[in-house]
Structure formats: structure tokens, C-alpha cells
Amino acid sequence: MDLVLKKSGSGYVYQSDDLDTVLSGNLPEGLQRLATAHQADESVFGADDGTRLIALKRSVASNNTPASTEIDITSATGVLTYRIDIERVDTPGMTGILSVITDISETRHRERILKTLLRELSHRSKNLLAIIQGIATQTARQALSLDYFLTKFRGRIQSLSYSQDLVTDSSWRGAYLFALTERQFSAYWPDSETPISINGINAHLSPNATLHIGLALHELIVNSASYGAISAGVNSLMIDCFETILDENEAIELAWIEHLPPAATQREADEPTFARTVLERVVPMAIGGKAMYLTTPDRIEYHLTIPSREYEIVTGE
């Protein structure tokens, strides 16, 4: 019997109707006093849980109805949770209460972690839906036609999907800046032999920064693919990331420098309001940073300052 209990991870205490211990075995460490002390429930489990357990045992004894409860005990290794299954057991010449005690700490710990992860997933999902709603609303406001709306909206959602894939693949830890940039460029600059120049710090971005910086990169890339360097097939843009200061705190700056080819015709984007809103307001506000967007006939610059809480610099990367 003891061998079976050891393999199951359970222990037992058999007590008389007066709750004097008659038999016990395989009790978890820390509960050994249940085997020797008289009515030790209060001293082992504490006054509140001990009193509740004693009342439950007396109820089982009088009603002959099995019951179960769980009790948490704080230990040096953390919170331990025990499930106690109680039933009346009558044997020839003896009647009493059998309590089977099982350590379910690991199970409850996994459940707590799962609940935390589900709450975090719910929170992130709501944030993602809010971003999509904002994209849909702003795109619709600037839409010249249904086809125009669908084209722009699908592109932005695809951009968000690229960023989200990186976040998901990292178990929601975020993404590296270089990987994010290359993923956003993939649909517009597939020439692997002459890759876009990405220099400086390959910072690991938070999930929040990954999604919003991905949107900023998308607007810059689409603009370039529409009437800038990418549209002319010219690799004349550079992305750099370097350390800086924001409000007297450590930060990094992401700089987009695009030299427009002489043949390119500088014109306003079809939807300047939304593109500029994303670059100058939505993204910096979402990450708690600041941005500057400059355009001239031969040059486009975008500078985004990212506070330290939205990234980490991983050495060796």
C-alpha cells in the first residue's frame, strides 16, 4: 500500500472519530506532525485552515459523505498546495476518518501560469484589434474609392501580420530590428544580391515597439516603392540605428535616409494625412518616443527616437 502511495505521490492519515491518528504513511515533507501530534491540523495548516479541516472531518464522520478540500502552505520554496480527500472508513472493530493528502503544487502552479498567459494574450489581442480598427478607420477616411481602400488596407494589415509573426515566433518577446526591417522590405525589395543597407544597433524590440515600428517602416517602404528610390530600382536608401538620449534617459534612434533619384518626380502621397499621422504621431505616441519626418525634392528623412523601455541591446547579436 505504501509503495502504491509513493508512486502516486499521495500520503494518508487514518484517524479515530475523536481525530486521534491511528495510521499514517507517505506523508509529504512538512506534514509529518500529522502522524504523531494529537489533532495537529491547526498547528500544521494554520488556525483558519486547520479549524476548517477539522470541521470538515467531523461532518464526514457524522454524515458519512466524502468531501474534498485544498489548502495552501507557504514554504521556503514557495506556496505548496495540497488536496485532501476525506471519507469515512469502517473496519472490523474500528471506525474512523481516512484523509488522503496529495501534493498538487505543480499542477496549480501550471494553472496559475496558464491563467497569466491567457490574460496577457487577451490584453495583447485587444491591443492588436485596436490597432487594426485605427488602421481601418484612418484608411477609410482617406479612401478615394473602394478599390483604393482595399489595396491600402490589405497592405497595412499584411505589414502588421509580418510583425506579428515575428512576435509570435519569439513567444511574445518581440523581434530584432534588423529582422523586422528585412521582413517589411521582403515584398518590395526582393533583390537579395543588393540588400538594403541596415547599419548600427540590432536592438531587440518589445512586442509593442515591433508592431508600431513595423507600421512606420511599411509607410516609408510603400512611399519609396510608389515614387521613391525603390520604384526607380535604385538602392539609395540607408537605415541606421544608434544610441542617443531622450528626456535625459538612454534611448536609440532609428534613422531612415533616402536619396531620391534625379528622374523621380516628387509629389505628395495620395494620402499624406494618414502616412504622416502614422510616422509623426501614432508610432512615437505608442512607444513613448518622438519622431521627425522631413521631405525635400531629392531626399526623405525619418528619425524615430525609441525609449529604453521598448528595447534591449543584446550583446553578441
Closest by Cα among 210, 160, 287 to 304: 287
pLDDT single digits (tens) 53-78: 999 999 998 899 999 999 998 888 78
CATH 3.30.450.20 range(s) for the chain read 2-103
CATH architecture of residue range(s) 2-103: 2-Layer Sandwich (3.30)
Task: Pick the most confident of 74-78, 177-181, 191-195, 272-276.
Answer: 177-181
Strands of 249-259's sheet, edge to edge?
197-200, 237-246, 249-259, 299-307, 290-296
Q: Is the pLDDT of residue 316 over 90?
A: no
- Mean pLDDT of the residues in the chain: 86
pTM as predicted: 0.69
Average pLDDT, stretch 220-228? 89
Q: CATH 3.30.565.10 region(s) of the chain?
A: 108-312
pLDDT given at position 268:
44
* pLDDT for position 189: 85
- The answer, yes or no, to whether residue 191 has pLDDT greater than 80, is no
Average the pLDDT over each of 4-13, 183-192, 255-264 and give the range with the smallest value: 4-13
Q: Identify which has the larger pLDDT, 99 or 29.
A: 99
Report the CATH number of the 108-312 domain.
3.30.565.10
